[in-house]
């Protein structure tokens, strides 16, 4: 009898908890300010980013959001010159506007530290696949990143967010095996000479507007 009573209490508690869980689909859209680290004469380029998501709101202060995303990244690079120390030949890079298109998936963990107030912080990982770029296949196909940010959500489900996303996978495939992109290139026959210990990583600032449907 005691076990039955305990089971009933547990079921009632579980039902009450999940009754407060809300699942809402939505979308977000905005702009990227993107670059790749450790490149000469490098600057950020502006691109579009957006996502469809499913948001799971748990009681009080936590939301789990699963996202399917698109992100246009890359970098702008001014012209520079480098010299081959073996023959003295000067190599000139006229500058590049590198555009990379990623689709991916992310898990955003949102924390509302003040109940019923829209201010929140978010952190999470993402996995992205390079579906196209304008570097003749020189960018590695997959990037793993981690992001964090801050946002505010209004009662009707409309919100704004600012995120910073940092990649952890070197974007180079084989295009850094010459000095067309990188003035730090070391001329030599050893593959290790082409990298110089300076990883080239995606670095992206994202500004977004999002909306959660109230189904």
pLDDT of residue 115: 78
What's the Rg (C-alpha) of the chain?
A: 23
Are residues 36 and 202 in contact, defined by beta-carbon separation less than 8 angstroms? yes
Provide the domain count of the chain. 1
CATH at 46: 2.40.160.20
Which domain range does residue 152 map to?
Answer: 23-212
pLDDT of residue 47: 97
Task: Report if residue 39 sits inside a domain.
Answer: yes
pLDDT of residue 18: 44
Task: Report if residue 4 sits inside a domain.
Answer: no
Q: Which of 73, 82, 63 is nearest to 24 (CA)?
A: 63
Q: Is the dihedral of CA 176, 177, 178, 183 positive or negative?
A: positive
Per-residue pLDDT in tens (0 to 9) along the chain, 215 residues: 544 444 333 433 333 444 479 999 999 999 999 999 988 788 999 999 999 999 999 988 999 999 999 999 999 987 666 666 666 676 666 667 899 999 999 999 999 988 788 999 999 999 999 999 998 778 999 999 999 999 999 999 999 999 999 999 999 876 544 444 555 544 443 444 344 558 899 999 999 999 999 86
Are residues 106 and 144 in contact, defined by beta-carbon separation less than 8 angstroms? no
The neighbour count for residue 58, using CB atoms within 10 Å, is: 13
Task: Report if residue 34 sits inside a domain.
Answer: yes
Task: Report if residue 11 sits inside a domain.
Answer: no
Task: Report if residue 14 sits inside a domain.
Answer: no
Partners of 51 in the beta sheet?
Answer: 28, 69
Task: Report if residue 17 sits inside a domain.
Answer: no
Q: Is the dihedral of CA 44, 45, 46, 52 positive or negative?
A: negative
pLDDT of residue 6: 43
User: What's the CA gap between 8 and 19, in Å, rounded?
Assistant: 16
Task: Report if residue 8 sits inside a domain.
Answer: no
């Amino acid at each position: 009898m005691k076990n039955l009573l305990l089971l009933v209490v547990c079921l009632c508690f579980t039902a009450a908890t999940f009754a407060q869980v809300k699942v809402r689909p939505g979308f977000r859209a905005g702009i990227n300010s993107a670059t790749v680290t450790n490149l000469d004469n490098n600057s950020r380029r502006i691109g579009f980013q957006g996502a469809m998501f499913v948001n799971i709101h748990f009681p009080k202060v936590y939301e789990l959001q699963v996202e399917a995303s698109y992100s246009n990244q890359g970098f702008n690079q001014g012209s520079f010159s480098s010299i081959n120390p073996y023959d003295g030949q000067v190599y000139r890079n006229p500058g590049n506007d590198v555009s990379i298109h990623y689709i991916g998936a992310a898990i955003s963990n949102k924390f509302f530290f003040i109940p019923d107030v829209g201010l929140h912080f978010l952190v999470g990982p993402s996995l992205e696949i390079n579906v196209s770029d304008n570097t003749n296949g020189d960018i590695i196909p997959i990037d793993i990143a981690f992001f964090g940010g801050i946002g505010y959500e209004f009662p009707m489900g409309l919100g704004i967010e600012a995120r910073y996303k940092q990649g952890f996978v070197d974007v180079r495939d084989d295009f850094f095996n010459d000095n067309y992109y990188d003035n730090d290139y070391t001329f030599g026959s050893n593959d290790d000479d082409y990298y110089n210990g300076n990883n080239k990583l995606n670095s992206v600032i994202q500004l977004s507007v999002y909306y959660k449907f109230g189904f």
